[in-house]
Amino acid sequence: MTPQEPTGRAPDIPPQARRAPRTTPDMATLKGIPVSAGISIGRAFFLNRSGVGPLPRQTLAESLTEAETVRLDKAFEQFGLEIDQARERIPAELKEHGLILDSHLMILKDPKLAGAAKKYIRSLRINAEWALDKAVDDLEKAFAALDDPYFRDRIQDVRTVAGRVQARLTGQASEMKAIENRVVLMAHDISPADTATLQTDKIMALVTVQGGKTSHTGILARTLGIPAVVGVTELEREVRDGDLVVVDGLRGVVVLSPGEAELERLSDLKYQFEAYQAGIMRGCHLPGETIDGYRVKVKANIEMLEEVPTVVNNGGEGIGLYRTEYSYMNRSKLPTEEELYQEYLDLATIMSPRRVTLRTLDAGADKFVSTLGALDERNPALGLRAIRLCMRHRDIFKTQLRAILRASLAGNVSVMFPMISGLREIRQAKAMLAEAKAELRQEGSRFEADMPVGIMMELPSAVMIAEILAREVDFFSIGTNDLIQYSLGIDRTNRYVSHMYQPLHPAVVRSIKHVVDAAHQAGIEVSLCGEMASDPFCVPILMGMQIDCISLTPQAIPGIKRIIRQATMDDCKKLLKLVLESPSVSRTNALVQETIFRQFPDELMFYSSLLDREDGPAH
């Protein structure tokens, strides 16, 4: 779930709006991807449409190809200058979005995009627009082959940058239109550069054609506390400026010119959701503690510094998982130790005294930098990734460990190694950490000598020897997304088998309990940082296991905290016992749904609409 702080504002709907239905016979509903929860009702206003239209395609005389590459360079340079200028103009409340501007600047400077386009200009003797389009197509195919949805979504950033360069090549770049009244802002896409000139006080909701679950539009909407739906492919064809629309960020739909009855229903739902948001936000800074006194730490999973304000505002008790991969993406050179140190130190300092857990690189060689070279892997999910990649490229790993150690001087930093399959990998990683400590001591650099070290428990092999691994580390963090995928042999992004991705499968529940028990027997803390941590059907079961900490998306923290505070440990243990005795996933799901709906009928009104999404947990 992704509840946001309520806007507290009534929708700006003029009286005549209810009497101005769309001329089409039936009310239309457009589907997309919900990225910021809530409901807004207002008039559509297009920031931009698909922009450059059909791209010109021309073949050139060989003598003109170099001039064409110069034209391409100038378009890249122009957009780069505009990004620099936009960074200076970003409103104070959106300053954190400068980091995304930096990432777009990295894409502009990355030779994989501009370099590939120039090769097409020279080899095929085609114009810059056509060549850039072909270069983006090539990158899109490469991104589509990645197994991680987060990395696949990064192609959206490449498309955005390329689209803005195309607009400058074709001379169709335009100034942003002024917004006179409060509107539902619609666009083909919203780039970080657009953020600099947005009149945020006049925007009720965001809807775009482009974008995925991790796109900039969602981050922007969550920062502003407004609903957003992305990936609405029919948006530009079906919606006109001034149309009355309802943006439902709970279900991921846009309702066009609703009739009187539907408008009244959605208005009621909007006010109910805002009242719910107000309630959970009032209690979000209270501890995650059951009625009978059992305390669960509730932390956040993030990948960018700009998410920190949301963590703090939503009552996050720390960062349970900081995905460090983002710093390695969309750049032609590896980040330096100093760059990583500054990033980690900033994060730790801002969050202090709350603890920050930095997960070392959890990526494959094809996911972040070209300098590692391409790998021909038939199954990347089972290939050279995470700790395996780091042990192959020890110089990269050592640089990151040194940066983490230096940042540990803040006093609240932990390090965590991903995709550990056995004892040998832990000892290898710890040996590298010891080498980094020795080097820093010799150089006179200070760090926290006893910085906590943990591992991700996400492979069945690690689960089976949890008692052995627990003797080697200070904490466990259970990554249920991969654990479920590897335990059940299910690719949750594969539409043919995604329905079989079942968090409450008996094998998964028993695996998690085994890890929790092994950790507690060894006297170490155990947390869980997968999607199960934000699933109200799973959290009471995890609490029954006496898990120490859950880490989830920042927006889900207030709602989950309230569920925890309305539960009792006695009830959670009883539910866990019934689940462990259940012989099948269908029986477990039915049992859990019946129990949870009975205990938290009001709480699940909005969760259930989110859990029904195709990408959500199956129940």
* Catalytic-residue membership of 216: yes
Whether residue 446 is annotated as binding a ligand: the answer is no
Round to whole Å and give the CA distance between 519 and 468.
10
Give Rg (Cα) of the chain.
25
Task: Check: CB of residue 213 under 8 Å from CB of residue 149.
Answer: yes
**Residue 255: which H helix or E strand, with range?**
strand 253-256
pLDDT digit string, tens, across residues 260-318:
999 999 999 899 888 988 999 999 999 999 999 999 999 999 988 888 988 999 999 99
CATH number of the domain residue 156 falls in: 1.10.274.10
* 106, 195, 356, 450, 600 from 353: Cα distances, Å: 32, 31, 9, 17, 33
Residues 39 and 76 both lie in one domain:
no
Residue 8 lies in a domain: no
Q: Which two tokens stand for residue 597?
A: 């709906």
Segment among 132-146, 351-365, 508-522 with least mean pLDDT: 132-146
Return mean pLDDT, the chain: 84
| pLDDT score of 211 | 79
What DSSP line would sit under 134-159, residue for residue?
Answer: HHHHHHHHHHHT-S-HHHHTTHHHHH
Q: Do 41 and 120 lie in a common domain?
A: no
Higher pLDDT, 367 or 404: 404
Residue 80 pLDDT more than 90? no
- Token duo for residue 76: 């890249």
- Enter the tokens of residue 157: 């950033």
Decide if 194 contacts 188 (C-beta within 8 A): no
Within this chain, do residues 305 and 228 fall inside the same structural domain, yes or no? Answer: no
Is 234 a residue whose pLDDT tops 70?
Answer: yes
Any idea which residue has 């999973």 for tokens? 301
* Domain, as residue range, for 122: 62-170
Cis peptide before 34 (omega within 30 of 0): no
Neighbours of 209 (CB within 10 A): 20
| 268 domain residue, yes or no | no
Q: Are 76 and 213 part of one and the same domain?
A: no
d(CA 210, CA 13): 27
Which of 352-366, 467-481, 524-538 has the weakest average pLDDT? 352-366
| Length of the chain, in residues | 619
The answer to whether residues 249 and 398 belong to one domain is no
- Above 50 in pLDDT, residue 8? no
In 3D, which of 91, 94, 36 has the Cα closest to residue 218?
A: 36
Token digits of residue 189? 């896409």
Asked about 549 being catalytic, the answer comes back as: no
Say if 619 falls within a structural domain.
no
Q: Is 323 annotated as a binding residue?
A: yes
Same domain, 575 and 522: yes
409-442 confidence digits (pLDDT tens) = 999 999 999 999 999 999 999 999 999 999 999 9
Cβ atoms within 10 Å of 186's Cβ, excluding its own: 28
CA atoms within 13 A on the CB side of 64: 9
CATH number at residue 469: 3.20.20.60
| Token output for 371 | 């300098």
User: What is the structure's pLDDT at 20?
Assistant: 36
Distance, in Å, from the CA atom of 560 to the CA atom of 354, rounded to the nearest integer, reads: 19
Judgement on whether residues 210 and 243 belong to the same structural domain of the protein: yes
Catalytic residue among 390, 529, 538, 572: 529
**Tens digits of per-residue pLDDT, 62-79?**
888 999 999 999 988 888
Residues in CB range of 304: below 8 A, 6 or more apart: 99, 100, 219, 326
- Tell me the torsion sign for CA atoms 429, 435, 441, 443: negative
Task: Count the alpha carbons within 13 Å of 533 in the hemisphere toward its beta carbon.
Answer: 31
Starting at the earlier edge strand, list the strands of the sheet with 39-48.
28-31, 253-256, 244-248, 39-48, 183-187, 203-208, 228-230, 33-36
Q: β-strand 355-359 against 203-208: which pairing, if any?
A: unpaired
Q: For 143, how many CA atoms within 13 A lie in the half-sphere containing its CB?
A: 21
Number of H helices, E strands in the chain: 24, 16
354 and 233 within one domain? no
Distance CA 408, CA 78 (A): 40
pLDDT at 114: 86
Say yes or no: 247 and 324 in one domain: no
Quick one: pLDDT at residue 16? 32
Residue 441 lies in a domain: yes
pLDDT band for 94, please (50, 70, 90 cuts). low
Task: Look at residue 111 and give its three-state secondary structure.
Answer: helix
Torsion (CA) 105, 106, 107, 109 in degrees, nearest 10: 90
Does any domain span residue 23?
no
Q: State the average pLDDT over residues 119-132.
A: 91
551 found inside a domain = yes
Q: Residue 25 carries which DSSP code?
A: S
**Tokens describing residue 204:** 């009720």
At 172, the pLDDT band (50, 70, 90 cuts) reads low
- Per-residue pLDDT, 325: 87
* CATH code assigned at 215: 3.50.30.10
**Alpha-carbon distance values, 157 to 49, 100, 113, 558 (Å):** 17, 9, 12, 30
Task: Work out the average pLDDT over 243-271.
Answer: 92
- Average pLDDT of the residues in 307-331: 89
- Catalytic one among 216, 393, 505, 619? 216
Point out the least confidently predicted range of 388-397, 462-471, 505-514: 388-397
Number of domains comprising the chain: 3
Look at strands 39-48 and 244-248 and give their pairing: antiparallel
- Single out the residue of 311, 240, 333 nearest to residue 44, CA to CA: 240
Position 354 in a domain? yes
The verdict on 458 and 594 lying in the same domain is: yes
Question: Does 359 count as an annotated binding residue?
Answer: yes
- Same structural domain, 441 and 516: yes
Asked whether residue 481 is marked as a ligand-binding residue, the answer is yes
Do 34 and 84 belong to one domain? no
Question: In this structure, which amino acid lies at residue 601?
Answer: P
pTM equals 0.71
- Classify residue 383: in a domain, yes or no: yes
- Residue 414 is classified by DSSP as E
Element (H, E) at 112: helix 111-124
- CA 13-18-19 angle, to 5 degrees, is 135
